[in-house]
Structure 1
Amino acid sequence: MSYSEAQLHARKITWTLSIAHALSSTGFLASATITSIVGADLSGRTAWAGVPSAVYQLGVAAAALVLGYTMDRLGRRRALSMGFLIGACGAALATWAIVARTFVGFLGALALMGPASAAAGLSRFVAAEVHPVHERGRAIATVVVGGTAGTLIWPLLSVTLGPWLAGLHLSDLVWPFGVSMVLLALAAIVVAAFLRPDPGVIARALAEPHSHATGTAGGRVASLGEILRRPGASVAIASMVAGHAIMVMVMVITSLHMRNHDHGVAAISITTSLHVLGMFAFSILSGRLADRIGRAPVIMAGAAVLVLACVVAPLSPAFVPITFGLFLLGLGWNLCFVGGSSLLADQLSPDERARTQGFNDLLMGLVAASGSFLSGHVFAAVGYGMMGLFSAAVAVVPFTLALWWQTRARQRLSAG
């Protein structure tokens, strides 16, 4: 395969993944708007409001690792489409569970939705591996920016479908999961139909002239333990994991916090949509920055924005400060996510990527599950403000690690 042919395939693959990410993110936004509210309602306990999101994140974590290995065995296209399809089945089950008022059934449904989120997350790495190093940040950003569609589509759907479905006596805690089911199924169809040729084939062809850049001596594929001992890989993973934990812990409980202060579903949907706008809309900019000024400065900027977000959101229960804080929370997450993803992709050979990136998303899912579970208990015990301050303190971790990595890289450059 010539380089020009690989470039054409890479563009098609990247935009296919971006469209799938747009569909899935709209579906996730529809369900995320009400998940903690449903959790508190079905369980009868405010402290358990974060449990459904925790179970969902555990599903994401487990699926990320499984899909990472599956992509090596079955190919990127089959693995990703399978993840989206399982998620659609989970959303259908969630709709039934809410109608039947079974909390256990609802938890099981959210666990099944996890593979769809894992597939959406791993898509960014699939786009990165079919591009050369100097284009990976922008490739990741193009996929991630697809999530912006959710911030436009979901508010429109909630405003137009909500009153009509209310006239049919369908609860506003039920139909969003039906929307999620349809959109995740469409994402599975898009990937299965258009993600051709399989990105793994292109990634290997692209890497052949540069096979010495990564991996171990003699061309041996490094073990996961060896990869994690690479400073760049460990900094990238830690930065993404910390940023994701902060974002999830604050975001998950915000809808319940707003509900307790008499904000309606429409207001909560707008806040959540603007949060997702912050997560995805500036991805092209963050990707270009990662390619131009480096991965570490972008991660540091993200950590700083996360601190600001965690301070602003709890300032007042009014709509504007909460919404602005959630927007900043999404923006900070985006910078850490794109910068960290680009840095991790730089450290890996094609045969190391899928399982290592799956392991990375496993860790992200596990800390997100822990944050979701703890958020309800922390919120019930000490309130939204203290939870924000704790999250701000955690944001110091990616900032410090990125600063260390940048200093180390400069020292190595000056030495030789």
Structure 2
Amino acid sequence: MHAPTQAGDRLAKRNVLVLAGAQALGGANPAIVISLGGLVGQAIAENKLLATLPVSLLNLGLALGTIPAALVMRRLGRRNGYVLGASIGVLAGCIAAYGIASAAFVVFCLGTFVSGFYGAFVQSYRFAAADTASPAFRARAISWVMAGGLAAGIIGPQVVIWTRDLVPGALFAGAFLGQAGLAFLSLMVVSFLRAPPVAAAAQPGGRPLGEIMRQPRFVMAVLAGLTSYGLMSFVMTGAPLAMVGCGHGVDLAALGISLHILAMFGPSFITGRLIDRWGKERVTAAGLLLIAAAAAVGLSGLSVAHFWVALVLLGVGWNLGFIGATALVTECYRPEERAKVQAANDFLIFGSVALASFSSGKLLNLGGWDALNWLVFPPVALAIGLLAWQGRSRTAAA
């Protein structure tokens, strides 16, 4: 299958609109779990040290779901795979709501774990946008789809605020029923996707995965992606609990997450053009520096303003770093290799995210909010160093 030409991006632009709409709905899935998972865990878990386990299981489900999701889409095609993924999202919300209503922490955790499987499909929307795009349009296609998360940053927290008391005697159960409803709407949206035929998406051949993964550029892209996403998840998972622990209300914590998600996706309208203007490596490095700046703000105070500014910087940094890293990955494979390479990339990234969120709650309990922020700096320094080395190597080769 030949790469689309810039003049032939009409289908790509149509798909971007569909995928951005699906991102707006599906992106609310983690927003709801992250906003409420730790609070529900504190309320119904017997061992309060496990309060953030539901959020960690969301990320674990996402990591474990990346390869099955890729296999499903390779076999059934993008559109059918996304319809199945949205159906899983409906089921996940219902399971989590039942777990809250019955005060069954294990069932609630199962619901957030299954939400992660749905998230694995949603996360691949960015790659689906690149499938039919020309090389010149690819970075913008990815960033425009990610811009759909801007609406998710509004939808998710508003669902929490308006539906949390919907089920009498089961605080927040209604929010997870709302999560299921959003997944159902997403199912209808993704049915309009017009992706390449299954035969084209599943071409045999290509290099062995190990050979592709040994490319220095692939290693750099994955490291930048897992650093951006892993650190964002690490800090964000602990932020709502830290805010409540400092005496700030649940609504202020939820609003902080809302601002964070808006910051995560808002820059997507221009991130693609920034990449075209300054290059993938520079934009990715700028994102990592903003994540470090977020940690510095987090260390400077415990007021609501400090938390909110840190979360906003964290969101913008994630946007630049993650979209830049995604664009770097698309340079590392041929069309017939994309399914396995995309799956490997997301498995590595979201595996690290799962580890980050698992450790976040424990470190918050052991070392407090400051400990989480101090641990941001070493990975950022390593990733930026590798980006700079790769940039110099390419310049020397040219």
Could you say which residue in structure 2 is the equivalent of 1:399? 384
Q: Does 1:412 align with 2:363?
A: no
Could you say which residue in structure 1 is the equivalent of 2:302? 317
Distance apart, 1:235 and its partner CA:
0.9
Distance apart, 1:231 and its partner CA:
1.6
Provide TM-score, normalisation by structure 1. 0.90
The letter for the 2-side match of 1:359 is: A
How many positions carry a matched residue from both structures?
Answer: 396
Q: For the structure 1 residues 282 and 12, does the alpha-carbon distance in structure 2 shift closer, same or farther, using more than 3 Å as the test?
A: same
Q: Is the 8 A contact 2:59 2:113 kept in 1?
A: yes
Partner Cα separation in structure 2 for residue 161 and residue 112 of structure 1: 21
The correspondence of residues 217-296 of structure 1 with structure 2, limited to 5 A, is: 220-296=205-281
Distance apart, 1:352 and its partner CA:
1.0
Aligned residue among 307, 312, 315 for 1:330: 315
Q: Does 1:187 align with 2:186?
A: yes
Aligned residue among 326, 344, 350 for 1:341: 326
Partner Cα separation in structure 2 for residue 221 and residue 157 of structure 1: 44
Q: Is the 8 A contact 1:56 1:114 kept in 2?
A: yes
Could you say which residue in structure 1 is the equivalent of 2:74? 72
SS of the residue corresponding to residue 346 of structure 1 reads coil
Q: For the structure 1 residues 179 and 170, does the alpha-carbon distance in structure 2 shift closer, same or farther, using more than 3 Å as the test?
A: farther
Could you say which residue in structure 2 is the equivalent of 1:169? 168
Could you say which residue in structure 2 is the equivalent of 1:39? 41
Q: For the structure 1 residues 255 and 147, does the alpha-carbon distance in structure 2 shift closer, same or farther, using more than 3 Å as the test?
A: same
Provide TM-score, normalisation by structure 2. 0.93
Could you say which residue in structure 2 is the equivalent of 1:301? 286
Partner Cα separation in structure 2 for residue 94 and residue 129 of structure 1: 34
Partner Cα separation in structure 2 for residue 296 and residue 94 of structure 1: 40
Could you say which residue in structure 2 is the equivalent of 1:138? 140
Could you say which residue in structure 1 is the equivalent of 2:129? 127
SS of the residue corresponding to residue 9 of structure 2 reads helix
Q: Is the 8 A contact 2:93 2:115 kept in 1?
A: yes
Partner Cα separation in structure 1 for residue 198 and residue 96 of structure 2: 34
The letter for the 2-side match of 1:386 is: A
Distance apart, 1:194 and its partner CA:
0.2
Partner Cα separation in structure 1 for residue 194 and residue 169 of structure 2: 40
Could you say which residue in structure 2 is the equivalent of 1:19? 21
Partner Cα separation in structure 2 for residue 3 and residue 304 of structure 1: 34
1:144-203 Cα offsets, whole Å, 9 max, x none, are: 0100002233444444445xx36x735442222111111112112211x20124476787
The letter for the 1-side match of 2:117 is: P
Partner Cα separation in structure 2 for residue 399 and residue 107 of structure 1: 36
SS of the residue corresponding to residue 194 of structure 2 reads coil
Could you say which residue in structure 2 is the equivalent of 1:213? none
Q: Is the 8 A contact 1:204 1:350 kept in 2?
A: no
Q: For the structure 1 residues 237 and 336, does the alpha-carbon distance in structure 2 shift closer, same or farther, using more than 3 Å as the test?
A: same
Between stretches 282-291 and 40-49, larger displacement belongs to 40-49
Partner Cα separation in structure 1 for residue 198 and residue 267 of structure 2: 27
Partner Cα separation in structure 2 for residue 305 and residue 335 of structure 1: 9
Could you say which residue in structure 2 is the equivalent of 1:196? 194
Partner Cα separation in structure 1 for residue 154 and residue 334 of structure 2: 37
Distance apart, 1:230 and its partner CA:
1.4
Partner Cα separation in structure 2 for residue 276 and residue 201 of structure 1: 37
Q: Is the 8 A contact 2:205 2:337 kept in 1?
A: no
SS of the residue corresponding to residue 339 of structure 1 reads helix
Partner Cα separation in structure 2 for residue 328 and residue 199 of structure 1: 40
* Paired-residue identity, %: 28
Between stretches 282-291 and 119-128, larger displacement belongs to 282-291
Partner Cα separation in structure 2 for residue 49 and residue 159 of structure 1: 21
Distance apart, 1:93 and its partner CA:
0.2
Q: Does 1:107 align with 2:109?
A: yes
Q: Is the 8 A contact 1:6 1:202 kept in 2?
A: no
Q: For the structure 1 residues 149 and 202, does the alpha-carbon distance in structure 2 shift closer, same or farther, using more than 3 Å as the test?
A: farther
The letter for the 2-side match of 1:279 is: M
Q: Is the 8 A contact 1:46 1:380 kept in 2?
A: no
Aligned residue among 55, 60, 63 for 2:62: 60
Could you say which residue in structure 2 is the equivalent of 1:210? none
Gaps of 5+ in 2: none
Between stretches 282-291 and 11-20, larger displacement belongs to 282-291
Could you say which residue in structure 2 is the equivalent of 1:84? 86
Between stretches 311-320 and 134-143, larger displacement belongs to 311-320
Distance apart, 1:121 and its partner CA:
0.9
SS of the residue corresponding to residue 27 of structure 2 reads helix
1:197-225 Cα offsets, whole Å, 9 max, x none, are: 447678799xxxxxxxxxxxxx9401110
Could you say which residue in structure 2 is the equivalent of 1:215? none
Q: Is the 8 A contact 1:28 1:180 kept in 2?
A: no
Q: For the structure 1 residues 310 and 3, does the alpha-carbon distance in structure 2 shift closer, same or farther, using more than 3 Å as the test?
A: closer
The letter for the 2-side match of 1:235 is: M
Could you say which residue in structure 2 is the equivalent of 1:216? none
Between stretches 3-12 and 337-346, larger displacement belongs to 3-12
1:258-281 Cα offsets, whole Å, 9 max, x none, are: 111232222112100111111110
Could you say which residue in structure 2 is the equivalent of 1:10? 12
Partner Cα separation in structure 1 for residue 356 and residue 195 of structure 2: 38
Q: CA RMSD in A?
A: 2.2
